[in-house]
Amino acid sequence: MLGMVEIGGEELPVPLAHPDPLVLELNRLHDQLKEKDRELGDSQSEIKALRATEVLKDKAIEELTNEFNKLDKKLSFAEKLLDQKNLEIKKLTSEKKEALAAQYAAEATLRRVHANQKDDDSIPIESVIAPLEADIKMFKNQIAALQEDKKALERLSKSKEAALLEAEKILRSALERALIVEEVQNHNFELKRQIEICQEENRILDKTNRQKVLEVEKLTQTIKELEEAILAGGAAANAIRDYQRQISELHRGIKVSANRVATVVANEWKDENDKVMPVKQWLEERRLLQAEMQRLRDKLVISERTANAEAQIKDKLKLRLKTLEEGLKHVSRFSANPNAFCGSPKPGKSNHIFAFLSSNNALKKLSTSQPRASTIRKSSPLRQPNIENEVTNDANGELKQVNSLKKKHGSGENLLRKSIWASRSKVVDSGEKENKEINENTTVNVGKFKDNEIAVSGDFKMKNGGNGESHTKGCNSDDVVSGFLYDRLQKEVISLRKSCEAKDGTLNAKDEELKMLMKKVDTLTKAIEVEFKKMKREAATREKESVLVKMEDNKKIRNTDSLKRVKELSRAIIL
């Protein structure tokens, strides 16, 4: 019923062509269980891999958070520097304005001085211009230094903007990684749900498997009971058919005997020349004669076989007796007193034993191969092994007794004589029993000689169909069944048929129930799959919506932050 196939490194039973649908269903359920186990193993391996990736991603997130914190610290430090530089720029601009105001005031004073010089040549101009020129040079140097500081601050602001852009890129990548991690976590959660669902399905399938196994065991028991009942019904039907055949043969024999009596009565008042035999009767008598000839041939073949078997047994017994004589001679040589204890073996004894065996075989020939009508069918080839077994058993018994003689040196001849006489009495008793049985069979079957001839003709007709049935017919042709037993057999056959029909009906009902249950299971599995797919779709849509909302919020936050920073930078630059 089941073959072996390797599935995932394990040898498993594979269903061969089996007519029972329950066995096929059980095999299919076993295959489904193994597939679910495989899927569980794959999902567990995926979960382990995803856990490892989660650990790595957590480490990467920690590193990114550390880098982000460092960048935040750098940004705060740069902002502080910018504030300081802005303050310095403000101070420098205020000093520049003061210097310009001082320059303007100096120029005005110079103008006034020039005007006063024109008016009064007493005050020297150089003494007034020299300190003012020194102040102008100093202020010009300060202005150049302030311009250089301004260029350096612009460079710093550009480098900080580039650093801010890089930090934004890093933050975006970190957010993308975080989203991937969230997706992986959601996928792990879904896989865990699937594993739980698969485990529940496996439990349900195990329960259904156990139920199916119990149902299959019950069905196998019922099938065995039905087979036993069918076999009993078949045996009864065969017996009924045999009885019907015997009855038909008896009817045919009655018709033949009636035809013979009618022809004899019709031919009594006719002359010898006017006596005519009808064609049908001549054909029937010809068939009967041919059947008798065939019977005699079979009898000759059986007698030849028995003669050959007896000759073989004689040869075997002669060889055994020769070995016994040699053993007795050997014992007589090595004994202390050969004349007193054992005596020398004489050829007369062996001749006596040979005559005794030949007389036994002659008795068996007479008992088994007498030409009697009642024992022709009973002396079939099936009886030959029994005869041979009896002879061989007697011979084996004699050999055992003679071997015991070899051990006991004192009383060898006496035990040999006792064993020979015992075997002779056994053979005589068996011959008398066989003759008694043959006489009883002849006395019983003298009145049925014609019936036996008709049965022989029927056997000769059935030989063309098959030789196997002829022996059974021959063995059962002498049986007689009463009407009470026949009616009882008919009642038993009818009751068996009714019970078989009832059991067939119960089996069909159980098959239909199983089919309905399988349909229900299929519909439930389909509904569960549809609901599971719907849940998956809803979860995917929810996750997508949440991801989109998060992305939009992050974009808004980034835009607001970037706008604030740009405004602050623009204000700082303006100041």
Is there a contact between 29 and 522 (Cβ–Cβ < 8 Å)? no
> Range with the lowest mean pLDDT among 456-460, 492-496, 553-557?
456-460
pLDDT, mean over the chain: 68
Nearest to 500 by CA among 230, 240, 235: 230
* Phi/psi of residue 463, nearest 5 degrees: -70, -30
For residue 417, the model assigns a pLDDT of: 45
- Rounded to an integer, the average pLDDT of 557-566 is 74
pLDDT in tens, 503-539: 778 778 877 877 877 777 777 777 777 877 888 888 8
Question: Alpha-carbon distance 211 to 142, whole Å?
Answer: 101
Structure-model confidence comparison of residues 341 and 153, the more confident one = 153
Residues 6+ apart with CB under 8 A from 30: 12, 13, 209
Question: Alpha-carbon distance 193 to 208, whole Å?
Answer: 22
For residue 413, the model assigns a pLDDT of: 43
For residue 330, the model assigns a pLDDT of: 64
- Rounded to an integer, the average pLDDT of 352-376 is 41
Structure-model confidence comparison of residues 188 and 467, the more confident one = 188
pLDDT of 237 above 60: yes
pLDDT of 296 above 80: no
- Rounded to an integer, the average pLDDT of 80-107 is 84
- Rounded to an integer, the average pLDDT of 153-173 is 85
pLDDT of 389 above 70: no
**pLDDT band, residue 299 (cuts 50/70/90):** confident
pLDDT in tens, 300-324: 788 788 878 888 887 877 777 777 6
Nearest to 185 by CA among 56, 63, 50: 50
Highest mean pLDDT among 88-97, 353-362, 459-468: 88-97
**pLDDT band, residue 349 (cuts 50/70/90):** very low
Question: Alpha-carbon distance 520 to 281, whole Å?
Answer: 73
Residues 6+ apart with CB under 8 A from 232: 496
For residue 265, the model assigns a pLDDT of: 65
Structure-model confidence comparison of residues 271 and 461, the more confident one = 271
Is there a contact between 255 and 457 (Cβ–Cβ < 8 Å)? no
Q: What are the structure tokens assigned to 138, written together?
A: 């100093």
Quote the pTM value. 0.24
pLDDT of 568 above 70: yes
pLDDT of 147 above 80: yes
> Counting beta carbons within 10 angstroms of the beta carbon of residue 86, is it exposed (0 to 12), middle (13 to 18) or buried (19 or more)?
middle
Nearest to 51 by CA among 167, 162, 185: 185
- Rounded to an integer, the average pLDDT of 13-38 is 75
Structure-model confidence comparison of residues 340 and 157, the more confident one = 157
pLDDT of 86 above 80: yes
Residues of the chain above pLDDT 70, percent: 60
Question: Alpha-carbon distance 244 to 247, whole Å?
Answer: 5
For residue 574, the model assigns a pLDDT of: 64
For residue 560, the model assigns a pLDDT of: 77
For residue 358, the model assigns a pLDDT of: 45
**pLDDT band, residue 356 (cuts 50/70/90):** very low
For residue 189, the model assigns a pLDDT of: 86
pLDDT in tens, 175-217: 888 888 888 888 888 888 888 888 888 889 888 888 888 888 8
**pLDDT band, residue 461 (cuts 50/70/90):** very low
Structure-model confidence comparison of residues 28 and 119, the more confident one = 28
Residues 6+ apart with CB under 8 A from 348: none
pLDDT of 406 above 60: no
DSSP string, 436-490: HHHHHHHHHHSTTHHHHHHHHHHHHHHTTT-SHHHHHHHHHTT----HHHHHHHH
Structure-model confidence comparison of residues 164 and 411, the more confident one = 164
Nearest to 64 by CA among 170, 162, 166, 169: 170
> Range with the lowest mean pLDDT among 115-119, 332-336, 541-545?
332-336
Give 10's strand partners. Answer: 7
Is there a contact between 287 and 457 (Cβ–Cβ < 8 Å)? yes
Structure-model confidence comparison of residues 280 and 87, the more confident one = 87
Amino acid in the structure at residue 164: L
Structure-model confidence comparison of residues 72 and 363, the more confident one = 72
Question: Alpha-carbon distance 8 to 33, whole Å?
Answer: 13
Q: What is the CA radius of gyration of the chain?
A: 63
For residue 275, the model assigns a pLDDT of: 52
